[in-house]
């Protein structure tokens, strides 16, 4: 692991790091905020997964999480959204696919199988690296994210309910297997057999019997992607049938931007902190 940069913030350290990922077969970059309480004891970990076109830097620069994370004693880990590099296959003119659009899944179709393994990266490789290098209590983990990252947070939590104490999302893509802006990516990454897509679709994972204790979702009513890509009512219906507690806040007048996310970031961090003890 290499240190790209560190700076002091709210008594803690905001760092950016890189490493050679065996899972993604390329260099990967991620950010970690370590609050001041870490000098005394290991702290709980909150994972934040970013959305389409983003890197670790979007939430780090615009998410406004450090002040409260420092107050609550939460380590915040912000991974990248996909593999990157000159040898990583990409569609440079397609913001919904390739670099910046890994969809937190493990691709099964060539030429994407070598690099696009973001599910395994987030669920296995990066947690092991974080546990080995930072003062964290891995028995207390939470996960949340925005848009594509909200999709990732929901599906990873549903597949690993024993690992995470809590899960929330800002404007998540709740059913990517049918959404217009994610369905083409699923076919390229996973192939034409839609049965294999169910592993990476929150509503279908719930339909297939996966369970998580509860979810918190915030969604802006002025979000331009609400009707076509996000459709939180589908998650609401799935959770109701499965008797999963869902708090769905429809935020009047808010859009899809980090102005929306930063407004409600404190609510999510406090929600996770209560469940992390």
Q: CA geometry: angle at 274 spanning 78 and 46, to 5°?
A: 10
Give the other-Cβ count within 10 Å of 104's Cβ. Answer: 26
Query: What is the share, in percent, of the chain residues with pLDDT greater than 90?
Result: 99
Q: Which residues are catalytic?
A: 147, 223, 256
Cβ contact 49:155 at 8 Å: no
Average predicted confidence (pLDDT) for the chain? 97
What confidence tier does 181 reach under pLDDT thresholds 50, 70, 90? confident
Cβ contact 223:258 at 8 Å: no
Per the omega criterion (within 30 degrees of 0), is the bond before 235 cis?
no
What confidence tens digit (pLDDT) does each residue in 235-267 have? 999 999 999 999 999 999 999 999 999 999 999
d(CA 111, CA 129) in angstroms, rounded, equals 27
Q: How buried is 49 (Cβ within 10 angstroms: 0-12 exposed, 13-18 middle, 19+ buried)?
A: buried
Q: For residue 48, what is the domain's CATH number? A: 3.40.50.1820
Residue 36 pLDDT exceeds 90 = yes
Q: What phi and psi, each to the nearest 5 degrees, are found at residue 33?
A: -105, 125
Domain carrying residue 81: 2-276
Number of H helices, E strands in the chain: 9, 9
Q: What is the number of domains present in the chain?
A: 1
Residue 93 pLDDT exceeds 90 = yes
d(CA 177, CA 200) in angstroms, rounded, equals 8
CA-derived radius of gyration, the chain: 17
What confidence tens digit (pLDDT) does each residue in 220-239 have? 999 999 999 999 999 999 99
Entry pTM:
0.97
What confidence tier does 183 reach under pLDDT thresholds 50, 70, 90? very high
d(CA 174, CA 203) in angstroms, rounded, equals 6
What confidence tens digit (pLDDT) does each residue in 109-130 have? 999 999 999 999 999 999 999 9
d(CA 137, CA 131) in angstroms, rounded, equals 8
Average pLDDT over residues 159-163: 98
Q: What is the pLDDT of residue 197?
A: 98
Residue 218 pLDDT exceeds 90 = yes
């Amino acid at each position: 692991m290499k240190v790209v940069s560190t700076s002091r913030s709210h008594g803690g350290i905001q760092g950016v790091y890189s490493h050679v990922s065996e899972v993604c077969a390329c260099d990967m970059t991620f950010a970690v905020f370590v609050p001041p309480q870490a000098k005394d004891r290991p702290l709980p970990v909150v994972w934040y997964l970013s959305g389409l076109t983003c890197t670790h830097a979007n939430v780090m620069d615009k998410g406004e999480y450090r002040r409260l994370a420092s107050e609550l004693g939460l380590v915040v880990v912000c991974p990248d959204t996909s593999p990157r590099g000159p040898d990583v296959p990409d569609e440079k003119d397609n913001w919904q696919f390739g670099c910046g659009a890994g969809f937190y899944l493990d691709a099964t179709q060539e030429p994407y199988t070598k690099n696009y393994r973001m599910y395994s990266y987030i669920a296995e490789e990066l947690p092991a690296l974080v546990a080995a290098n930072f003062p964290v209590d891995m028995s207390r983990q939470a996960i949340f994210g925005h848009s594509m990252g909200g999709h990732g947070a929901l599906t990873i939590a549903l597949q690993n309910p024993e690992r995470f104490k809590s899960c929330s999302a800002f404007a998540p893509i709740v059913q990517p297997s049918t959404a217009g802006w994610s369905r083409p990516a699923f076919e390229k990454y996973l192939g034409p057999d839609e049965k294999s897509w169910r592993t990476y679709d929150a509503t279908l994972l719930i339909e297939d019997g996966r369970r998580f204790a509860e979810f918190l979702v915030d969604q802006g009513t002025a979000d331009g992607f609400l009707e076509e890509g996000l459709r939180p009512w589908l998650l609401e219906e799935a959770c109701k049938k499965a008797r999963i507690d869902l708090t769905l806040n429809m935020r009047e007048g808010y859009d899809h931007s980090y102005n929306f996310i930063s407004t409600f970031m404190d609510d999510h961090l406090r929600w996770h902190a209560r469940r992390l003890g």
